[in-house]
Structures are given as structure tokens and as C-alpha cells.
Amino acid sequence: MDTSVDVTAQQGLPVISFAGGSEEALARQLDQAFSTIGFCYFRDIGVDAALVEGVFAASRRFHAMPRAAKEAIAMNRFHRGYMAPKTSVIQTSSVARVTKPNNSESFMLMHEVAPEDPRFGRPLDGPNLWPDLAGFREAVTAYEQAMHAFSLRLLKPLALALGLPRDWFAPYFGQATTFLRLLHYPPHDMTDPEAAFGSAPHTDYGFITILSQDDSGGLEVRRKDGTWLAAPPLPGTWVVNVADMLSRWTNGRWQSTPHRVTNLSGGDRYSCPYFFDMSMDSIVEVLPTCQGPDRPAQWPPVRYGDYLMERLDKNYAYRQQPETAA
């Protein structure tokens, strides 16, 4: 099996296959992609195409429901449920002064925390909300479980890429913080040059993001020189990017790259990002393999949960409202 990085001239991002080849070869590819731009495509990750089709079908059915039915499961204080359009403003963006809310709506699923779990009731540790929609929960859960299983497998080549033992990351993900977001972007208003982005320029907060997108296009990645590179849909692939905590762990060796979405397709756009992050209590400190006398640590240690909650509190309107029962 050819394990080389396939760079397609039209879109510029590496395409990395997980079929065949050694973990060491895969680790080299990951390091190359994440060190140069922080984004790539994955293919052959072992997630059945039927699961992908199922979660997109579920998302379209959900977003086609009447607004009142979606509002019945509005986002709870545990960051789960329905988020209406134009209710998030990326105030923590490091690359743009964002004043307009994102023109998108979404359903958010996170790791399930049962009432008997000692974590229950802590920030982001609570119940998911589900619409009254036949087959929705089953399709969404099946895709989430497949992505979780792949993400756990991914930890080993990531560790090898950083000169760490294969199982180094495992203790941080025994109680992983995960998000599956079913996003719907309406068409961009072409008559208004100041129309809001579907998603304004931003970086992701945690460890790694694995995105499945439809055929509409609109995702762009910022190069180091400040120009924007399209990340168009490629059949059978996921767009993958380094997030803030992984960049911080690597002392900036791997980039948490700004990206944005503008839906210029003329129709509706759907995407399903999966955010795979460490446990809320994880202390992220620059890795020993990514620092030295000539490269001191750029950041002090930080508890992931504290970093995450600061950003959620600033960026989401529902978190500024009086707290209500979940």
C-alpha cells in the first residue's frame, strides 16, 4: 500500500490514508501535515459510508423540523441540544474582529454522563437532549460511536509522531470530552457584502477535529501568509485539523490553524464536525519532546476544562442567560 502523502494541486491539503502501511509511516505523514498547515484529509479510517449517510440524513430531517419543535430541545447548561441561528459570536477569534453572529444552526451531542456518574452536574457533564424524531437517536449515536473508536486508534500514531510512547495519550482520554455537531448553513446572502459568515474565522478549542462535509464547499483554511485556501469536499474523506490544546501540547510545532465557512453554493450546506478532546481535568503542559534549551515552553500548564469554559462562556449567547433547569 502506498503510504505517501497525496497532495492534490487543486486544493493543496494532504490526503492521508489509514489503509495499510506502518504506524511509523503514518506518524511521519501526520507530523508533516500538522507541522506545515495544521490541516489535512483522512481517508480509509474504517467508518462505514452508510453511517455517514445516516448521520447526514438525520441532520437534514432534524433541521427541516418546525422551529418550535427544535426550540423544545434548546441548548441546556451542559452545552447539549439545539442552537438557533445567529446565537454565537466568535469573540475569542485570534485572526479577526468578529461582531456578527454565525449564520448557522446546529444540534449538539456530547459524551453522555449518567446521573449516577460522579462527574454528573459538573460543567459539560450532563444529559444529552433528543428530538422526537424516529430513528434520529440511533443514526446519530451510531456515527458518534464509530468516530470515537477511530479517534482512540488515532492516539497511537499521533504519539509516535511526537516521539512519545505509543500509549502516552491514553490516560488523558479515558473520559474524553467529545462533541458531535450537526450543522446547517443557509445560503449566504450574496446581495449583502457585509453578511455574516456561516462560521467566522476561528480556531477549535481542544485536541483534534474530524469533519465530514457535504458537497456544497465553503470551508477555507488560513495559510501562514494570511491567504485563504479552500478545503473542498473530496469523496470518502474527512477534513482533520489540530485544535488549540494539541498545538499547546506540542509547543506550537503543530498548528491550530484558523478556518472559516462561507456558504456560496446557493443552497443549504450541512456538515458534521466531531471534536475529540481530553478529559476536562487534564493538565496540558508542553511535551518534553517539543521543548529544550533552544526552544523553551511558550505556555504554562493549563487545565483543559478551564480553558474550554472560558471560551464557551464568551462565544455563546445562551451562556449569558439566567441558568435554568436542564
pLDDT at position 224, please? 86
Residue ranges per structural domain of the chain: 10-320
Cβ neighbours of residue 290 under 8 Å, at least 6 residues apart?
162, 249, 250, 251, 253
pLDDT at position 63, please? 97
What count of other Cβ atoms lies within 10 Å of the Cβ of residue 73?
17
CATH, domain 10-320, list 2.40.50.100, 2.60.120.330, 3.40.50.2300, 3.40.800.20: 2.60.120.330
Look up the pTM and report it: 0.89
State the Cα–Cα distance between residues 280 and 176, nearest whole angstrom: 8
Torsion angle, alpha carbons of 165, 3, 46, 36, to 10: 70
Q: Is 32 helix (H, G, I), strand (E, B) or coil?
A: helix
State the Cα–Cα distance between residues 114 and 119, nearest whole angstrom: 9
Sequential pLDDT tens for the chain (326 residues): 333 333 333 448 999 999 988 999 999 999 999 999 999 999 999 999 999 999 999 999 999 999 999 999 999 989 999 998 866 544 444 454 444 666 889 999 999 888 999 999 998 999 999 999 999 999 999 999 999 999 999 999 999 999 999 999 999 999 999 999 999 998 876 666 555 566 778 899 999 999 999 999 989 999 988 899 999 999 999 999 999 999 999 999 999 999 998 888 889 999 999 999 999 999 999 999 999 999 999 999 999 999 999 988 887 667 666 554 43
Residue 16 C-alpha from the chain's centroid: 18
pLDDT at position 2, please? 35
Cell of 120: 454528573
- Residue pair 130/137 in contact by the 8 Å Cβ criterion: yes
State the Cα–Cα distance between residues 241 and 292, nearest whole angstrom: 26
Q: What DSSP letter does each residue of 254-274 carry, written as one string?
A: S----EEE---SSS-EEEEEE
